[in-house]
Amino acid sequence: MFNRFKERLKGFKEAVSTKIQEKGEAEAKKAEAKTAEGTKPALEKSAAVVAKTAESEPLPENNASGAAKTKQSFRSRAKSLIFEQEVVLDEKDLTDPLWELEMALLESDVALPVAETIVASVKDELVGRKKKIRADTGEIVEEALRSSLYKVLSENYFDVDEFIAKAEKPVKIVFVGVNGTGKTTSIAKVAKYLKDQGYSIVLAAGDTFRAGAVEQIEVHANNLEVKLVKHKDGKDPAAVIFDAVEYAKAHHRDVVLADTAGRLHTNVNLMDQMKKIVRVVKPDLLIFVDEAIAGNDAVERARLFNEAVPINGTILTKTDADAKGGAAISISHITGKPVLFLGVGQDYPDLVKFEPDWLLDRLLGS
Ligand SMILES: Nc1nc2c(ncn2[C@@H]2O[C@H](COP(=O)(O)OP(=O)(O)O)[C@@H](O)[C@H]2O)c(=O)[nH]1
Ligand SMILES: [Mg+2]
Q: What is the torsion angle, in degrees rounded to the nearest 10, for the CA atoms of residue 329, residue 258, residue 203 and residue 186?
A: -20
Q: Please tell me if the CB atom of residue 260 comes closer than 6 angstroms to any atom of ligand 1.
A: no
Question: What is the torsional sign of CA 214, 216, 220, 225?
Answer: positive
Architecture field, domain 3-153: Up-down Bundle (1.20)
pLDDT on residue 55: 43
List every span in the chain annotated with CATH 1.20.120.140: 3-153
pLDDT on residue 38: 65
pLDDT on residue 41: 54
pLDDT on residue 254: 98
- CA-based nearest residue to 342, from 330, 333, 354, 331: 354
Q: What is the rounded distance in angstroms from the CA atom of residue 163 to the CA atom of residue 154?
A: 17
Mutation probe of ligand 1 site: the residue of 175, 184, 290, 317 with most atoms within 8 A of C-beta: 317
pLDDT beyond 80 at 349: yes
pLDDT on residue 19: 86
Q: Respond yes or no on whether the N-terminal peptide bond of residue 170 is cis (omega within 30° of 0).
A: yes
Q: What angle do CA 162, 166, 172 make, to 5 degrees?
A: 95
Q: Please tell me if the CB atom of residue 181 comes closer than 6 angstroms to any atom of ligand 1.
A: yes
In the chain, the amino acid numbered 258 is A
The answer to whether the beta carbons of residues 263 and 304 sit under 8 Å apart is no
Per DSSP, 58 falls in state P
Tell me phi and psi for residue 204, to 5 degrees.
Answer: -120, 125
pLDDT on residue 239: 96
pLDDT on residue 58: 46
pLDDT on residue 49: 41
pLDDT on residue 205: 97
Q: What is the rounded distance in angstroms from the CA atom of residue 253 to the CA atom of residue 257?
A: 11
For helices 137-153 and 356-364, the axis angle rounded to 10 degrees is 140
Q: Please tell me if the CB atom of residue 125 comes closer than 6 angstroms to any atom of ligand 1.
A: no
Confidence band for 74, pLDDT divided at 50, 70 and 90: low
Centre a 10 Å sphere on the Cβ of residue 120 and count the other Cβ atoms it contains.
Answer: 13
Q: Please tell me if the CB atom of residue 320 comes closer than 6 angstroms to any atom of ligand 1.
A: yes
Helix (H, G, I), strand (E, B) or coil at 36: helix
The answer to whether the beta carbons of residues 104 and 9 sit under 8 Å apart is yes
Confidence band for 81, pLDDT divided at 50, 70 and 90: low
- Please tell me the pTM assigned to this model: 0.86
| Cα 354 from chain centroid (whole Å) | 11
pLDDT on residue 23: 82
DSSP E strands in the chain: the ranges are: 86-88, 130-132, 171-176, 201-204, 227-229, 255-258, 285-291, 313-317, 339-343, 351-353
pLDDT beyond 50 at 107: yes
Render the burial of 262-288: b for 16+ CB within 10 Å, e for the rest.
bbebeeeebbebbeebbeebebbbbbb
Q: Please tell me if the CB atom of residue 321 comes closer than 6 angstroms to any atom of ligand 1.
A: yes
Q: Please tell me if the CB atom of residue 220 comes closer than 6 angstroms to any atom of ligand 1.
A: no
**pLDDT: which is higher, 59 or 301:** 301
SS3 string, 113-150, reads: HHHHHHHHHHHHHHCCCEEECCCCHHHHHHHHHHHHHH
Confidence band for 12, pLDDT divided at 50, 70 and 90: very high
Q: What is the rounded distance in angstroms from the CA atom of residue 240 to the CA atom of residue 228?
A: 10
Indicate which ligand has the atom closest to the C-alpha of 346: 1
pLDDT on residue 27: 80
Average pLDDT of the segment spanning 61-66: 53
pLDDT on residue 46: 45
**pLDDT: which is higher, 349 or 35:** 349
Question: What is the torsional sign of CA 9, 10, 12, 16?
Answer: positive
Architecture field, domain 160-364: 3-Layer(aba) Sandwich (3.40)
The pairing of beta strand 339-343 with beta strand 313-317: parallel
* % the chain with pLDDT above 90: 69
pLDDT on residue 48: 44
Q: Please tell me if the CB atom of residue 349 comes closer than 6 angstroms to any atom of ligand 1.
A: no
List every span in the chain annotated with CATH 3.40.50.300: 160-364
| Cα 253 from chain centroid (whole Å) | 36
* Mean pLDDT, rounded, of the chain: 88
Confidence band for 227, pLDDT divided at 50, 70 and 90: very high
Query: Could you give the C-alpha distances from 313 to 152, 209, 337, 354, in angstroms and in order?
Result: 15, 24, 5, 11
Ligand 1 closest atom vs CA 189: 6
Give the containing element (helix H, strand E) for 49.
Answer: helix 3-56
Task: Give the distance (Å) from ligand 2 centre to CA of residue 208.
Answer: 10
pLDDT beyond 80 at 197: yes
Q: Nearest residue CA, atom 22 of ligand 1?
A: 182
